[in-house]
Amino acid sequence: MYGTKAAKLLNSKAVEIGDSVRIKTDRNEYEGLVMPRIETGDTNCIILKLSNGYNIGIEAERIKEMSKMESKKETPKKDKVESAKPKKQVDPKEEVVILGCGGTIASKIEYKTGAVFPAITSEELVESFPQLKEKKIRTRMLFSLLSENVTPQHWIEIANAIKEEMEKGCKGIVLMHGTDTMHYTAAALSYMVKTPVPIVLVGAQRSSDRGSSDNMMNLLSAILAAESDIAEVTVCMHATENDDYCYLHRGTKVRKMHTSRRDAFKSINEQPIAKVDLDNERIEILSDYTQRGKTKFAIDTKLNPNVALIYIYPGMKRQQLKEMLQNHDGAVLMGTGLGHIPTELIDVTKEFSSKKPVAITSQTIYGRLNLNVYETGRNMQDAEIIGHLLDWTPEAAFVKLMFVLGHSKEIGKIREMMNTSLAGEITERQEE
Amino acid sequence: MYGTKAAKLLNSKAVEIGDSVRIKTDRNEYEGLVMPRIETGDTNCIILKLSNGYNIGIEAERIKEMSKMESKKETPKKDKVESAKPKKQVDPKEEVVILGCGGTIASKIEYKTGAVFPAITSEELVESFPQLKEKKIRTRMLFSLLSENVTPQHWIEIANAIKEEMEKGCKGIVLMHGTDTMHYTAAALSYMVKTPVPIVLVGAQRSSDRGSSDNMMNLLSAILAAESDIAEVTVCMHATENDDYCYLHRGTKVRKMHTSRRDAFKSINEQPIAKVDLDNERIEILSDYTQRGKTKFAIDTKLNPNVALIYIYPGMKRQQLKEMLQNHDGAVLMGTGLGHIPTELIDVTKEFSSKKPVAITSQTIYGRLNLNVYETGRNMQDAEIIGHLLDWTPEAAFVKLMFVLGHSKEIGKIREMMNTSLAGEITERQEE
């Protein structure tokens, strides 16, 4: 998988993937495990996993010396299992709980094949992130899923696990999660859990076999955030394309906005809550948040998952929308602009307005809805479509409707709850 | 509708909406029509339509003097009709054709009620934009729709109108269009029309009754772009929140990314083609484009509009996706991250893979798809879902599938066309 130059160099020293090597360049000396090269990029750049868990890439051309050290190929390391638990007794209230749900961040490389597997045991986690040994943590793997396969049922399982850990006592909670649907899960937990301690979701955009992996920095930053004063459900991810700092985003206002960049997560329509500066172990507050200890812990997992999220497009058939509304207990539409849908589709929603909630969000992702400006919007208000003047994301509105439908069957009450900010998903309008 | 201070001032001078007034502040003197105040914002700011067509807002507190001039309330101005046509004969090839489809940009205020109506005649257009009198233009109103009601059939009508104008000869074409679905129409025209002259779509985010209206600057910038060397289907809109310059975006790579900001339109995954600097009548090229005269005019309006655009979400039911695939001739899915959908939904698409094209795009909006990195993506490739390594927007992919299905019924050919860039909707991958 390595390019010609890199492969030649490795062959010349009989170094295989998974071997431990010492490498000298003009400027530096490195020791680490040779990682497989499974991504695109400079294939003549040898990836080395350092003992601190970080990966670096070294161009074959820059390597002056390479020597093989004693082999450290992957073998079951039962003797290391104990290291996952701190030797001396720690008060559980002082510990950060790390819950694992799978995803790239907790992935593990099978050195022989280069395949990426989710790490499934606490031991494997500590083995992947040696710096965790120094932290007051306890770990628990809930399940191991690529996040596109996470369902509303999993959100409930996560909330229940949080409850159990809260009962044992903890300083904060970190939830390792795949990034694809992390913002849906973050929104769900925001509605379901009231928390006196930080609950921080974290993921990685690049797997641990890549020189550019963001997994270590994101996880350590999330632990720092979990020890902080910010007692909300948040997402902690790279703030920029560099490794300079992370952002802590509110769970209901964040969205994955890029397929692959490390700074893919963005706060929508508000500032992130804080900057997490891992190097200086410092958290810089950027906006309002709920302080540690101010909220009593509570959990409420009643959800009705029979909700549709529907993208509206030119030429969409009336019958299509009608069937989707018939088959679900409520729907969130993704309209255009200020929150519009074609006039003939408004008529379809009217047939359901006395029975089923229909909410509107915008395909533009950014900006606040306004159903007062144009005739279409005013017709939508007449059809009792929910969303006028709200600034929610489509995903936060969608998960909210599941939650609200789990709590009421009365259409008036449902509309009222939808229009009220339950977990920061709606920000008050500032006069221009 | 005006706030207390403004209303008091207007009343004290017996000034009504639609009256012509002269206003003095500490620094300046203005003459213009008093506009209704139908938007939120500072309601004590009096909106004046100046004779150059621009609106300004003047805070009531800053007004030192106000005097009513002769009344200019709206009356049918038949005598002005002729002004829409230039007096002397102009070679049609030197004219920019302005086609009207409705939307905010061409809207007209009914002064009595404050309601916004689309302008439907050429005369009304020139009346709204007095600076047009100095331009070599001819105008033609196709229809008058809020763009959420524009359908694939309208795209075909627009293309046919473009053909007729091209046969008469013109310097370039400007298409006034509502902003909500302007990027869908721009993509459709990009696939349907090969053009030796610029075809520029333009809209406005703020209606002409607002001090912050962007309609005049956008339209004049679009005319400048239509006279330029850039012979592509483009979108011309404000580049920033200020009135400093516009961007010219490629029709297949642009998307409305904010509900209300004037710089709502963004090029996705590429630079805009050019900066349009109206003040200096200068076009600054930012990326590759097709030059004027290099392409022979051609039009091909074969479309199959029976395509669905489907947002994928946690908990989506297999049956729901199945029915949507059954009811359409093809579908574009909006997956998560690098282009993933839940494993059980991949199985649903497999049932259709020998008959119907299913393409993938990403909810993240930004970034390139990659179905090689994770198991899910590889399974999607096995299911022959189209999109691996493409960087198209959901809307460009959706309109493209309509176009491609209008040209072939053979699944292999359809996949091949979908994977080939037809109008700049796919940019080549740059090695990292």
For B296-325, the pLDDT digits (tens) are 999 999 999 999 999 999 999 999 999 999
pLDDT digits (tens, 9 = 90+) for A258-281: 999 999 999 999 999 999 999 999
Q: Same domain, yes or no, for B139 and B217?
A: yes
Mean pLDDT of chain B: 89
Indicate if A407 and A354 belong to the same structural domain.
Answer: yes
Burial of A113 (C-beta count, 10 Å sphere; 0-12/13-18/19+): exposed
What pLDDT band is residue B87 in, cutting at 50, 70 and 90?
low
**Claim to verify: residue B8 and residue B127 sit in the same structural domain:** no
**Active-site annotation of B, residues:** 104, 179-180, 256
Compute the average pLDDT of residues A38-55.
Answer: 71
What's the pLDDT at A120?
Answer: 61
Q: Is B430 part of a structural domain of the chain?
A: no
Q: What is the mean pLDDT of residues B240-251?
A: 96
**Do B155 and B248 reside in the same domain of the chain?**
yes
Each residue's pLDDT tens digit, A55-88 = 778 888 888 889 988 754 444 444 333 444 445 6
For the stretch B187-218, pLDDT in tens is 999 999 999 999 999 999 987 767 778 889 99
Identify whether residues B384 and B241 lie together within a single domain: no
B127/B103 same-domain check: yes
Find residues 355-384 of chain B whose CB sits inside 8 Å of chain A: 362-370, 373-376
Q: Which of B299, B329, B350 is the last residue of a domain?
A: B299
Interatomic CA distance for residues A338 and A322, integer angstroms: 23
Q: How many Cβ atoms are within 10 Å of B80's Cβ, its own excluded?
A: 12
Strand residues in B314-410 grouped as ranges (E): 330-335, 358-362
As a whole number of angstroms, the distance between CA B339 and CA B387 comes to 8
User: How would residue A221 be classed by pLDDT, with cut points 50, 70 and 90?
Assistant: very high
B406: domain CATH number is 3.40.50.40
User: Looking at the structure, do residues A176 and A279 belong to the same domain, yes or no?
Assistant: yes
% of chain A at pLDDT higher than 90: 65
| Minimal CA separation from A259 to chain B, in Å | 5
- Residue A226 CB contacts under 8 Å (≥ 6 apart), including other chains: A96, A171, A172, A173, A174, A197, A198, A199, A200
Domain boundary pick from A252, A283, A299: A299
Is A148 in Cβ contact with B342 (below 8 Å)? yes
A26-30, A34-38, A64-68, A153-157: range with highest mean pLDDT: A153-157
Residue of higher predicted confidence among A306 and B75: A306
Separation in Å, CA of B396 to nearest CA in chain A:
12
> Å from B203 to nearest chain A CA?
12
At residue A41, the pLDDT reads 62
Sign of CA dihedral B71, B73, B76, B80: positive
Q: Which residues pair with B118 in a beta bridge?
A: B107
Which stretch of DSSP H or E encloses residue A397? helix A394-405
Task: Please check whether residues A258 and A376 belong to one and the same domain.
Answer: no
Whether A428 maps to a domain, the answer reads no
Q: Is 60 exceeded by the pLDDT of residue B431?
A: no
Q: For residue B77, is it within any domain? A: no
State residue A414's pLDDT score.
98
Q: Any idea which residue has 């992702």 for tokens?
A: A365
- For residue A134, the model assigns a pLDDT of 87
Tokens 């947002």 found at = B311
Q: Answer yes or no: is A373 within a domain.
A: yes
Of residues A47 and B135, which shows the higher confidence score? B135
Would you say residue B361 lies in a domain? yes
Q: Are residues B239 and B373 in the same domain?
A: no
Q: What percent of chain B has pLDDT over 90?
A: 65
A222 and A359, same domain (yes or no): no
Pair A321, A346 in one domain: yes
List B100's β-bridge partners, or say none.
B141, B176
ipTM: 0.84
Q: Does A400 touch chain B (CB under 8 A)?
A: no
- Report how many domains make up chain A: 3
CATH of residue A49: 2.30.30.520
Same-domain pairing of B340 and B240: no
**Amino acid A43: pLDDT:** 78
Q: Of A55-69, A72-86, A416-430, B50-64, which gets the smallest average pLDDT?
A: A72-86
Residue A105: which of A200, A228, A36, A6 has the closest Cα?
A200
Residue-number span of the structural domain to which B64 is assigned? 4-68
* Catalytic pick among A179, A185, A195, A393: A179
What's the token pair of residue B34?
């008093």
Q: Enumerate helices (H) and strands (E) in chain B, giving the number of each.
A: 10, 22
A104, A349, A361, A427: the active-site residue: A104
Q: What is the pLDDT of residue B29?
A: 86
Strand boundaries in B166-253, DSSP class E: 172-176, 193-194, 199-202, 233-238, 246-250
Q: How confident is the model at residue B366 (pLDDT cuts 50, 70, 90)?
A: very high
pLDDT digits (tens, 9 = 90+) for A372-395: 988 899 999 999 999 999 999 999
d(CA A58, CA A64): 11
* pLDDT at B41 > cutoff 70: no
CA dihedral A341, A344, A347, A351 (to 10 degrees): -100
Domain-located, residue A21: yes
- pLDDT, chain A, mean: 89
Residue A140 lies in a domain: yes
Q: For A224-259, write each residue's pLDDT tens digit.
A: 999 999 999 999 999 999 999 999 999 999 999 999
CATH code, domain with A107: 3.40.50.1170
Q: Is A180 a catalytic residue?
A: yes
Beta bridge partners of A174: A98, A200
Domain boundary among A266, A299, A332: A299
Contact A342 B369 (CB under 8 A): no
d(CA A359, CA A189): 21
Domain contains A426: no
Q: Do B259 and A314 touch (CB under 8 A)?
A: no
Pairwise CA distance, residues A166 & B92, whole Å: 76
pLDDT for the residue numbered A118: 64
Q: Is the pLDDT of residue B119 over 70?
A: no
